[in-house]
Amino acid sequence: MDKVFASPKAALEGVIRDGMTVAVGGFGLCGIPEQLILALRDSGATGLTAVSNNAGVDDWGLGLLLQTRQIRKMVSSYVGENAEFERQFMSGELELEFTPQGTLAERMRAGGAGIPAFFTKTGVGTVVAEGKPHMEFDGETYVMERSIKADVSLVKAWRADPSGNLVFRRTARNFNPMAATCGAVTIAEVEELVPLGSLDPDHIHTPGIFVQRIVVTTSEKRIEQRTVSKG
C-alpha cells in the first residue's frame, strides 16, 4: 500500500465530503496540520463537525474554515483566541460542544481503542455534565462521556516512514496521537519522510496501522502570541 501522496490536495481526494466529522491535531497553532487545513478549505466541503482543542486564530488554522463558513459544529475545549468563533457562536451560526481538555483527549483515544464510553469526575456538577448519565463508584459521582470516532483525522508529525509510523516533536505532539487513532481515515502531514526501518521502534509515537495517507510539507510555524523579555 503506497501511503505517500504528492500534495495535501491529493491526500484529501476521495475522502472529503460535506457533513463529515474531522478530528484535527494541534494545540493553538502548535502542531497543527496547517497545509492539510488549507487543502480542506480549498476542497469546498461544508457542514463539517470539527473536533479539535481549539479553532486556531482568525487568519490561520481552523479559523480559516470559520471564515468560509465550512464548519457547522466545533467540539472543543478552548476558544479564546478567535474573534470570528465568538461572533458565530454568539449569533447562533455555529454549534459548540464544550469538552474539558483531558476529557477531549480521552474521548478521541477511546474512539481509537474501540471503547464506546467511559466515566470521569471532570465536569460533574457543571453544564458539561447536563443530560449525561451519572454513576457512583466508591462513593464518588462520575459522568459518562461518549468516545469520538471521526470520518477523517488530520494530524501533523515531525517524521514518518513510508509505512506511516509517526514521530512527533516535543510539545507539537499534544493532541495529535489521539486524533490519529480515532479517524476512519488518518492523513498525516509530516516534515520529513525517512526510509523504512530507520526509525527506532521505541521512539515511534503512532504506529503506521493507524495512518492511511502521508504528505510531506514545509511548515510556516507561525507564533500565536509572541512574548519577549524586556531589556
Overall average pLDDT of the 113-123 stretch: 97
Query: Alpha-carbon distance 134 to 119, whole Å?
Result: 8
Instruction: With a cut of 80, say whether residue 182 has pLDDT above it.
Output: yes
Measured CA to CA, the distance from residue 154 to residue 24 in angstroms comes to 5
**Residue count of the chain:** 231
Domain spans in the chain, listed from the N-terminal domain onward: 4-115+149-216
pLDDT of amino acid 222: 79
Q: Tens of pLDDT along 40-92?
A: 999 999 999 999 999 988 889 999 999 999 999 999 998 777 889 999 999 99
Q: pLDDT grade, residue 160 (50/70/90)?
A: very high
At 105, list the grid cell.
483527549
- What does the DSSP assignment read for 152-180? EEEEEEEEE-TT--EE--GGG-TTHHHHH
Q: Answer yes or no: is pLDDT of 105 > 90.
A: yes
Look up the pTM and report it: 0.95
Q: Are 148 and 51 in contact (CB under 8 A)?
A: yes
pLDDT band at 185 (very low <50, low <70, confident <90, very high): very high
* Distance in angstroms (rounded) separating the CA atoms of residues 75 and 117: 16
- The CATH number given to 4-115+149-216 is 3.40.1080.10
Rounded Cα gap, residues 208 and 201, in angstroms: 11
